[in-house]
Structure 1
Amino acid sequence: MAVTGIGGFFFRAKDPKALGAWYLEHLGVGAPEGQFVWDQQAGPTVFAPFKADTDYFPAEKQFMINLRVDDLDTLLASLRVAGVEAITKAEWDSPEVGRFARIQDPEGNQIELWEPVK
């Protein structure tokens, strides 16, 4: 018996309907209202518990979601046009792993965007 992948990601939200719509509109993540399944591309997934005192993401948050993307520059341009602040730092990028950016959803949850090396 083996796990074959992540079957879902569930988290609390002050306004689940609005937050779900934000993820769908800006990141293409999720499913339209009334549907529950988001079919995604197969690819690498990192599953890594961090130390309780990590500074990799905000201390007041218990998680940070990392979303794999195929064209980080285009996505960042689209997010910025929509008024979503995106942060990039050269030290986050790695020729072996890929490029990274960070954004926050409307409820302050940090999202790491990852364009893996092709």
Structure 2
Amino acid sequence: MAVTGIGGLFFRSKDPKALADWYVKHLGVGPTEDNPWIWPQQAGPTVFAPFKADSDYFPADRQWMINFRVDDLDGLIASLKAAGIEVLTKAEWDAPEVGRFARIHDPEGNPIELWEPTAE
């Protein structure tokens, strides 16, 4: 039921490719030639993907959305709801090859995506 790591960090960029290239070049953070979306780390993969400035993947008034990888999405959702935290789920967010998703917001309105990856 606990968060087990970062599942992804999504943020807007005026030039997503150039920014992603800078992170890879200077920090070693970001996608590899073998997989243009995944940055392998200990404890599981993390998506590192600058989004276009006009993306509608998360609210337009926010520059980022953090994604936390979880091991029991249903249990965490129940716990969050019991605490009075609004949880949004949509069937179209879930994909058998990727996993299941839910979204919440922190007290300041920052978007948080919760991701339970498909079991390997």
Moved over 6 A (4+): none
TM-score, normalised via structure 1 length: 0.66
Supply the distance in 2 between the matched residues of 1:87 and 1:61 (Cα, whole angstroms): 17
Q: 1:48 aligns to what SS in structure 2?
A: strand
Of Structure 1 and Structure 2, the greater strand share is in 2
Q: 1:46 aligns to what SS in structure 2?
A: strand
Supply the distance in 1 between the matched residues of 2:109 and 2:97 (Cα, whole angstroms): 30
Q: 1:3 is matched with which residue: 28, 32, 50?
A: 28
The percent identity for this pair of structures is 75
Q: 1:115 aligns to what SS in structure 2?
A: strand
Pairwise CA RMSD of aligned residues? 1.8
TM-score, normalised via structure 2 length: 0.65
Letter matched to residue 63 of structure 1: W
Supply the distance in 2 between the matched residues of 1:112 and 1:47 (Cα, whole angstroms): 14
Structure 2 stretches of 5 or more lacking a match?
1-24, 31-41
Q: 1:103 aligns to what SS in structure 2?
A: strand
1:11-35 per-residue CA deviation (whole Å, 9 max, x = no partner) reads xxxxxxxxxxxxxxxxxxxxxxxxx
The number of equivalent residue pairs is 83
